[in-house]
Structure 1
């Protein structure tokens, strides 16, 4: 009984303290409710902070831009032959490995990126694959085999600089988890597609075409299947642009987004970023970026 009395006294003391600090609150019941809310908010804040601290610990071993040659299908001239392939691979490892490798300063406690690059080169260089996605699968397989139980997921980025005739490259970016055999994320990017376009509202812009640099990011649905025919998709986009003229970049970009979203059933969303290097005298460029999902463009 004494314990219960002390508990009631403590509650009353806390409530009186809250009323003293918050003179606008006059009802003790309201004060108790407000105290409960504050306690719950403080607990939520602590849980969020704890969760964020846990998520900060991560450990990635990577090889950036390994230059190789492989036959992954037709190049920008439609010929199946060896073409340059630039491969980057990121091994996301268990956070406990960070502690061991960081404290011991011993390469044996980590994943040897030298061995990783040699293993990838041996499997990929001057080899033939039925599509770039098959090459990515081989790279991921080598990464999982080398890292063993330490790895949680592998991200592979392959750049084909000779795949799109008017662009700097075609990037294929897959993330594959250890639990799933199929890629959890599939992203394809057309990098720096340069096109002459009749665009702008000023009189000189209506008389001559100017360069427009466009980057397109396609987000595909997860799965293990051939990639969409991106060289043909880009060719269709270029054909549409050549036959049109625009007053604004907004119209230009949105038209590319629409065409790209509807180009394949496998494409879920598209981001297009276009810029005009000649628009402003003392700036690199002016630009517009738009992201849309396929559902934003219902088929008619």
Structure 2
């Protein structure tokens, strides 16, 4: 499964610049799904959720541009928003109602879906993907019901589901799925480049880092974002990932952000007998707001993992 994923940058570069696009940003709802900032399943109380969608088309707007009327060459952003919220309804009710809906679906001949305890962030975004495209994000399962989008007209699709309260020290977590529909729908669906990534936004952690004498005497805030590309896990790993990142920053005694970023990447990609991180790509972005008085902040970014040389070591090629 891991070999089917590429980075979001790769998918977007393959798709190229769109000649026509429709987007919806930060559509708001509540979820009785996924885990909260402490890693607890949100089955008894909801958490806020923001959904963004980007749809790029293969052809320029025709009817809509020429006749000022909506046609098959575009998608109404209002209907797109309604389709997303309608699909998300299964996650916006308490667990008891979810179980009743599953039982009703099973009794009427449906599959009933997964137990609500498995409604992770990854499950939610993949279910939304199926509702819009008719296909699982892995490109191997086609849903029976008619999807919202006509994939014969779509060049690129990206979905992001953000949980703004699912981080203790940051601005939330998000998962993004994207696909370039190179071959369109059909038997070759699995050949279309796809990506999935998990991101923790703007962790603010007091950190001992810096080369100047005064920076060695006290900790300063370092704002760190971690994006894990080629992410194919279905569990809510973000709480564990945040704890790992915060611990590494809290224990830091590095002088440079470059060395700290390389160390942090090594910690995230560290082999674990329970997990396979060998296919991950990690993008770490670190800011020091107080380091340069006349700038908002200096920024250092580190990319490591699958396809990248290890930080601190030259590329063998």
Band of TM-score, shorter chain: 0.7 to 0.9
1:130 equivalent among 107, 119, 129: 119
Q: What residue number does 2:19 align with?
A: 58
Aligned to 1:151: 154
> Match of 2:62, SS?
helix
Root mean square deviation of aligned Cα: 2.6
| Deviation at residue 228 of structure 1 after TM alignment | 6.4
Contact 2:34-2:236 within 8 A present in 1 as well = no
Call closer, same or farther: CA 1:293–1:246 in 2, change over 3 Å: same
Partners of 2:122 and 2:236 within 8 A in 1: no
Instruction: Please give the secondary structure, in 2, of the residue aligned with 1:282.
Output: coil
Number of the residue aligned with 1:87: 51
Whose helix fraction is larger, Structure 1's or Structure 2's?
A: 1
Shift of the 142–112 alpha-carbon distance from structure 1 to 2, 3 Å rule, reads farther
Task: Give matches, 1:1-300, under 5 Å.
Answer: 58-81=19-42, 82-95=46-59, 98-109=61-72, 110-125=74-89, 126-127=92-93, 130-144=119-133, 145-148=147-150, 149-176=152-179, 177=181, 179=185, 180=189, 184-220=194-230, 226-227=234-235, 229-262=237-270, 264-266=275-277, 267-294=279-306, 296=309
**Do the aligned partners of 2:209 and 2:252 also contact (CA within 8 Å) in 1?**
no
**1:282–1:255 Cα change, 3 Å:** same
CA displacement, residues 248-280 of structure 1 (integer Å, 9 cap, x when unaligned): 111111111111223652452111111111111
Query: In structure 2, do the counterparts of structure 1 residues 207 and 55 end up closer, same or farther at CA, with 3 Å as the change threshold?
Result: closer
Structure 2 residue runs without a partner (length 5+): 1-14, 94-115, 134-146, 312-317
Whose Rg is larger?
1
TM-score (norm 2): 0.68
Bigger relative contact order (CA 8 A; separation at least 6): 2
Given the two structures, how large is their TM-score scaled by the length of structure 1? 0.72
- On the 8 A contact 1:140/1:155 being kept in 2, the answer is no
Change (3 A) 1:101 1:227: farther
Separation (CA, whole Å) in 2 of partners of 1:290 and 1:78: 27
Q: Residue 111 of structure 1 contacts residue 146 of structure 1 at CA under 8 Å; is this kept in 2? A: no
**Conserved 8 A contact 2:207-2:249:** yes
Matched residue of 1:63: which SS? strand
Q: Which runs of 5+ in 1 are unaligned?
A: 1-53
